[in-house]
């Protein structure tokens, strides 16, 4: 199965459009890049975490506006991994034979609610009674727990975390779809106010409106539609506990580790020293510590060595493995339901050499990887894409 079309809206505060119009920006581009019309789509999946936006049934509103009414349609939610869940659901529809062509759409209009409301809703995403109601944890607080545990165990510093932000803003400055199209320096990040120590403002992803879409097709149809399909080699998924007190480690996300192992097994890859396989990665950097943990959860380096990649500049172009050349969630933006779909759209464009020159990866191995986390490891998806059709196993 292959990705045959991709679309992406501009991310940011999008008060200029409603939800359906915003989704259409991505859907329209996905249809154009696949050479298809709405009537050709046979199955529709919409990712939307919701709660902060006006539409209680976003999938039906989005589908109607895009001319997709009448198709099999459903909405998926997996917190910040909702977009990857939509891609996986569309993949399953095609793989099962239910459809030859499916579209996964991610959409979020987070800025329709005031910031305190959004912060509260995201903070409820763990175990509401034990964590939010009793202890007042917000999402920056959750990731601050991981950051302090990681720093204490391995010796990483606040400067190391800020270097992630510097890198991601650097690449976002070249991405016309990014929310923050500007570079920052280390001092700017280090001087930004604390949200939950050691997590600072510039360690944190923003509240974002945005949409992304990808069109998937069966092998037979994909070969008819394009000479350059991007093949889905594998999708790995896993879940974690709702209550953080039941977790035995705070320097990595078990769900992401399990999802990665599943993806590698299905793709026929060894799970150690995995950076050698990929030309680029898009990882879930909702906070800078999350990106560092992702390096290790994905097996790019051994446990406790992720921050060294940052110190050595090994996740820039030309390093061991370029990570978040889109700007990542940190600077491209994090419209929760759209993020996972955005990653697949971005990596498809990377493989096809369709991104801006300054952030185009050097495609030699022909494989890329996406890592998308929901909550603080409540859900996790790892998706591997390639230029060559995967071998039958």
Structural contact between residues 66 and 60, judged by C-beta atoms closer than 8 angstroms: no
- Beta-strand relationship, 209-217 and 101-109: antiparallel
- What is the dihedral angle through the alpha carbons of 51, 193, 328, 48, rounded to the nearest 10 degrees? 0
Residues marked as catalytic: 80, 334
Give the relative orientation of helices 58-65 and 19-34 as an angle to the nearest 10 degrees. Answer: 50
Judged on CB neighbours under 10 Å (0-12, 13-18, 19+), 367 is: buried
Beta strands across the sheet bearing 73-76: 73-76, 43-47, 101-109, 209-217, 2-8, 230-239, 379-386, 367-374, 280-282
Structural contact between residues 203 and 194, judged by C-beta atoms closer than 8 angstroms: no
DSSP H helices, the chain, are: 19-34, 58-65, 82-95, 115-123, 134-135, 139-154, 158-172, 186-191, 219-225, 254-267, 288-297, 306-311, 328-331, 339-351
214 Cβ neighbours under 8 A, 6+ residues apart: 3, 5, 6, 7, 30, 87, 90, 103, 104, 341, 344, 345, 348
Query: CA 304 → CA 144, 152, 161, 248, 260, distances in Å?
Result: 17, 11, 14, 16, 17
Q: What is the DSSP string of 96-138?
A: TTS-SEEEEEEEEEGGGS-HHHHHHHHHTTS-IIIIIIHH---
Q: How far apart are CA 344 and CA 212, in angstroms?
A: 9
């Amino acid at each position: 199965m292959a990705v045959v079309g991709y679309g992406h809206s501009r991310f940011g505060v999008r008060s200029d459009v409603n939800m359906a119009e915003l989704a259409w920006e991505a859907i329209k581009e996905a249809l154009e890049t696949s050479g298809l019309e709405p009537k050709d789509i046979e199955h529709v999946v919409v990712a939307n975490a919701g709660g902060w936006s006006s539409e209680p049934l976003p999938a039906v509103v989005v589908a109607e506006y895009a001319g997709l009414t009448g198709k099999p349609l459903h909405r998926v939610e997996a917190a910040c991994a909702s977009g990857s869940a939509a891609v996986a659901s569309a993949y399953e529809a095609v793989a099962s034979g239910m459809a030859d062509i499916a579209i996964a759409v991610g959409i979020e209009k987070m800025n329709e609610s005031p910031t305190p409301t959004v912060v509260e809703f995201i903070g409820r995403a763990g175990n509401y009674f034990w964590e939010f109601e009793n202890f007042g944890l917000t999402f920056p607080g959750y990731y601050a727990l991981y950051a302090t545990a990681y720093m204490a165990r391995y010796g990483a510093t606040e400067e190391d975390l800020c270097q992630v932000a510097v890198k991601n803003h650097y690449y976002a400055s070249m991405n016309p779809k990014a929310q923050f199209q500007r570079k920052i320096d280390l001092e700017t990040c280090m001087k930004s106010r604390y949200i939950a120590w050691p997590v600072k403002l510039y360690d944190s992803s923003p509240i974002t409106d945005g949409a992304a879409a990808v069109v998937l097709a069966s092998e037979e149809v994909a070969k008819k539609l394009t000479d350059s399909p991007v093949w889905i080699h594998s999708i790995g998924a896993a879940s974690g506990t709702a209550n953080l007190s039941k977790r035995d480690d705070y320097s990595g996300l078990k769900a992401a580790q399990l999802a990665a192992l599943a993806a590698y097994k299905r793709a026929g890859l060894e799970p150690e020293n995995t950076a050698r396989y990929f030309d680029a990665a898009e990882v879930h950097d909702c906070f800078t510590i999350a990106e560092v943990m992702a390096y290790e959860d994905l097996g790019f380096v051994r446990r406790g060595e992720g921050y060294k990649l940052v110190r050595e500049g090994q996740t820039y172009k030309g390093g061991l493995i370029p990570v978040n050349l889109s700007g990542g969630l940190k600077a491209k933006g994090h419209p929760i339901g759209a993020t996972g779909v955005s990653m697949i759209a971005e990596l498809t464009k990377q493989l096809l050499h369709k991104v801006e020159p300054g952030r185009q990866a050097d495609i030699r191995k022909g494989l890329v990887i996406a890592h998308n986390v929901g909550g603080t490891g409540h859900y996790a998806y790892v998706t591997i894409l390639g230029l060559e059709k995967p071998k039958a196993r």
